[in-house]
Structure 1
């Protein structure tokens, strides 16, 4: 088995979130993410879930860099804990990931997003499973048309509230990962949006954690729906379960979203 430093693939989700590589290795990786107004959200207040894109990337690429060239990691599950809103102006954020353990089946990694002062904003733990691939994902020749900086992640991806607790993601290349599936971080965004819709958050509440399990890939070229069920709602804390489904109705992911006032 030969291993190689993984090429960082800028797919639609990375382009939208302005993610760029700094260093990628088999034990540690680092990315940079621009701060900007696209991270605002009228319902969630701040699209904290968008940090799932670079956190998924930086931890996944650590596993990829230490694996055979005929294998690629896919996420089994991600746990995110949010400590603050991401900045909407100023220098880029730093996203780091490190290996905790690996074996022939996959790896476990953890990471953090920090602002320019070094203050931690979000934490991640990811479990990855290695699958055989004929070729690894590579950079596309497609030039992604990015919206203006004031356009939110919600609007750029085409998320729509259908009714309270039900949100749809329109087909768009900006939601895709390097394999053409809905990026794990975008499924995290959709889960956050559906949870906040179910709670009628109005920009007042904030997501404190998201724990998501990925059960099958979702096609970024098809509609994806997110259905939220409020499991508990108290004065200062709510727990919401969200199911993400493909256009055929098959389950893609299940998320538990914890929201606080």
Structure 2
């Protein structure tokens, strides 16, 4: 069984969120992300769910680093606990991931991302499944430039509210991972935007957790639609179920999004 450390692939999602690798081993990993004004949004306030990109990477690559060269991990489930807003002033964020368990067909990892002062912003638990591949993904940088700081995530991803609680993500290179599918962290970001849409949020709410199950790949070359159902809405907390649907109408991912009133 040949195992060599994989190259960290800068796909569209990593380029959009300014993610880069620091270290990568079969037991642990560290990545960096540049914060910025693009994380702000009138509806979500600050996109906490966008931290899902670096957290998905920092935990998924630990599994990849300890897997045979003809295997590659894909997400089965990601649980995010979102504790605080990421900064938007350009300061660096640091994500660390570590292995919890591994076998021949799967891996379980945990991680966190912290701000420049060391305060933890978000936690992740990821369950991965190993697929047989001819070779590990090696997609180079996409041709499109990194958007400027004045371009929000919503604008860069061209997210469009079809109606309250229904949000469409068109085919977009910034949504893609190294396999040409929509990055799990981008799907999670879309879940947050859709949940805030159905709640008609205007920056007064914050996402505190997103629990996602991935049921099939979402092709980044085709549009994906996020549809919501509010399961509970109280004075200070709401529970929203979100389904990410492929162009065929079949679900790609299903999530429970917990939203709470902002605490200043």
TM, length-normalised to structure 1: 0.99
Q: Which residue of 2 aligns with 1:187?
A: 187
Cα deviation per residue 1:111-133 (whole Å; 9 max; x = unaligned)? 00000110000000000000000
Structure-2 change in CA distance of 1:127 and 1:66 (3 Å): same
Aligned partner of 2:56 in structure 1 is: 56
Q: Secondary structure at the match of 1:78?
A: strand
User: CA, structure 1 residues 175+103, in 2 after alignment: closer, same or farther (shift >3 Å)?
Assistant: same
2:120 maps to: 120
Aligned to 1:165: 165
Counterpart CA distance in 1 for 2:141 and 2:260 is: 42
Structure 1 segment 98-177 matched on structure 2, within 5 A: 98-140=98-140, 142-177=142-177
Alignment match, 2:10: 10
Shift of 1:90: 4.0
> For residues 181 and 76 of structure 2, what CA distance do their matches in structure 1 show?
14
Could you tell me how far apart the structure 1 residues matched to 2:3 and 2:124 are? 25
3-state SS of 1:161 partner: strand
How far apart in 2 are the matches of 1:182 and 1:192? 15
Q: Distance in 2 between matches of 1:21 and 1:146?
A: 17
Unaligned runs of 5+ in 2: none
Match status 1:210 vs 2:213: no
Q: Which blocks of at least 5 consecutive residues in structure 1 are unaligned?
A: none
Does the aligned pair in 1 maintain the 2:12–2:141 contact within 8 Å? no
Question: Would you say how many aligned residue pairs link Structure 1 and Structure 2?
Answer: 261
Aligned residue in 2 for 1:75:
75
- 2:222 and 2:146 mapped to 1: Cα distance? 20
Give the equivalent residue in structure 2 for 1:45: 45
Aligned mates of 2:243, 2:195 — CA distance in 1: 10
Aligned positions of 1:175-254 closer than 5 A: 175-254=175-254
Inter-partner Cα distance in structure 2 for 1:32 and 1:243: 30
Residue equivalent to 1:93 = 93
Q: What's the C-alpha RMSD, in Å, of the aligned pairs?
A: 0.8
Deviates more, 1:31-40 or 1:85-94: 85-94
* SS across alignment from 1:63: helix
Q: Deviations over 1:183-204 (max 9, x none)?
A: 0000001100110001011111
TM superposition shift of 1:143:
2.4
Aligned 8 A contact 2:229 2:240 in 1: yes
Alpha-carbon shift at residue 105 of structure 1 (Å): 1.1
